[in-house]
């Protein structure tokens, strides 16, 4: 079965072709970072308009790279939510129009399920069950993953997501957008322990997170410093990264202990953070556990993860593919609500 995946939930347009026998055949991605950088964040209307411009050229690109024709497509998976409503509607409308023209079934995919399953696209995919740490600009969650469509929420952020905290800290430090990579690069030049920042909810006794207070602590410290020098900026970035990594790693290890699992999967844009990967690898080794990450190209939003998640769902429950070509999107959608038929 050849599945076309379309991702358009926010500021990246991604398309991919996944074959259930041959694996990932091709994928293409256009990032809108340069367009949104002048505004310091994503402008929804601009994002939607740019998706319209990019999606069909990217479709031709993935078909050419795979050596396939439109008529070879057996099913279409598109991001139904969560995300920006206008951006989601672009992908949904293209998927449904193409599905109608080709007479093939379509499936709306949960964006976070795509991230959750993206490490399965690696050469050495993890086996079920496992604990997943989803860390992105809009979400920070710990999930127990028992199989396709069988997810149990263990903990989540009560306010800012980890990625949001990175972006807001970057603004406070005068860094560019997106903030995560900029803060991490600056932190490499910082002195450990130069500033003492809080580790919110580190000892809360549950698996929830909170990062708004950490961002506020950075703001307070930067105001105390006044005209901040470059070394102080680096030290403050290092303190922030160390604090957020401490919390994410501790909660992830606690989730492994609570569930009894020995496999941790990390997904989402923050999963590309080098400091976080190093800490998780180190602590997992101590617990004789393993950590799996998606390839760096698939940490951020992409069409490959949507094509793959759609293919896995259609294999498990073919009746999920629909041929009714009315459509809608779900800008707010809890991952724990997903279930396969009969489960």
Q: Whole-angstrom Cα distance, residue 24 to residue 123?
A: 11
Is 301 a known ligand-binding residue?
yes
DSSP letter for 206, please: S
Is 242 a known ligand-binding residue?
no
Q: With H, G, I as helix, E, B as strand and everything else as coil, classify residue 155.
A: strand
**Phi-psi group of 167: left, alpha or beta (phi > 0 → left; psi -120 to 50 → alpha; rest → beta):** alpha
10 Å CB burial of residue 124 (0-12, 13-18, 19+) is exposed
| DSSP secondary structure of 161-184 | -HHHHHHHHHHHTT--SSHHHHHH
Instruction: Decide: 237 and 169 in contact? Cβ < 8 Å.
Output: yes
Beta bridge partners of 245: none
Is 111 a known ligand-binding residue?
yes
Task: Count Cβ neighbours within 10 Å for each residue of 13-51 and write b for 16 or more, e otherwise.
Answer: bbbbbbbeeeebbbbbbbbbeeebeeeeebbeebbbebb
Is 180 a known ligand-binding residue?
yes
Residues present in the chain in total: 343
Is 273 a known ligand-binding residue?
yes
Task: Count Cβ neighbours within 10 Å for each residue of 197-225 and write b for 16 or more, e otherwise.
Answer: beebbeeeeebbbbbebbbebbeebbeee
Is 81 a known ligand-binding residue?
no
* Structural tokens at position 218: 């950075």
Q: Whole-angstrom Cα distance, residue 276 to residue 256?
A: 17
Is 138 a known ligand-binding residue?
yes
Is 203 a known ligand-binding residue?
no
* Structural tokens at position 227: 């005209």
Is 115 a known ligand-binding residue?
yes
Binding residues for substrate, by number, are 134-138, 167, 180, 273
- Binding-site members for Fe cation are 111, 115, 301
Q: Which residues are annotated as a binding site?
A: 111, 115, 134-138, 167, 180, 273, 301
């Amino acid at each position: 079965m050849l599945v076309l995946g379309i991702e358009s939930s926010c500021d990246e347009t991604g398309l991919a072709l996944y074959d259930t026998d041959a694996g990932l055949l091709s994928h293409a991605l256009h990032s809108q970072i340069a367009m949104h950088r002048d505004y310091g964040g994503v402008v929804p209307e601009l994002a939607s308009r740019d998706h319209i411009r990019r999606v069909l050229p990217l479709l031709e690109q993935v078909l050419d790279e795979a050596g396939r024709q439109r008529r070879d497509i057996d099913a279409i998976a598109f991001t139904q939510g969560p995300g920006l409503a206008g951006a989601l509607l672009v992908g949904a409308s293209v998927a449904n129009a193409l599905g109608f023209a080709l007479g093939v079934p379509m499936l709306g995919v949960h964006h976070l399920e795509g991230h959750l399953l993206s490490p399965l696209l690696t050469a050495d995919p993890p086996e079920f069950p496992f604990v997943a740490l989803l860390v992105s600009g809009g979400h920070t969650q710990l999930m127990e993953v028992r199989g396709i469509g069988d997810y149990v929420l263990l903990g989540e952020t009560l306010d800012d997501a980890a990625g949001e905290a990175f972006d807001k800290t970057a603004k406070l430090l005068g860094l560019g957008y997106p903030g995560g990579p900029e803060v991490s690069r600056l932190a490499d030049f910082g002195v450990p322990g130069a500033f003492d920042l809080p580790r919110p909810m580190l000892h809360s006794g549950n698996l929830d997170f909170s990062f708004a207070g950490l961002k506020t602590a950075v703001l307070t410290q930067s105001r105390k410093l006044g005209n901040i020098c470059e070394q102080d900026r680096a030290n403050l970035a290092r303190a922030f990264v160390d604090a957020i990594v401490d919390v994410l790693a501790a909660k992830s290890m606690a989730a492994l202990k609570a569930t009894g699992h020995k496999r941790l999967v990390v997904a989402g844009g923050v999963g590309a953070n080098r400091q976080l990967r190093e800490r998780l690898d180190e602590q997992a080794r101590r617990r004789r556990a393993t950590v799996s990450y998606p390839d760096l190209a698939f940490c951020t939003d992409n069409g490959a993860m949507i094509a793959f998640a759609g293919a896995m769902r259609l294999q498990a429950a073919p009746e999920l593919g629909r041929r009714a070509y009315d459509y809608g999107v779900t800008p707010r959608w809890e991952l724990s609500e997903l279930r396969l038929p009969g489960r």
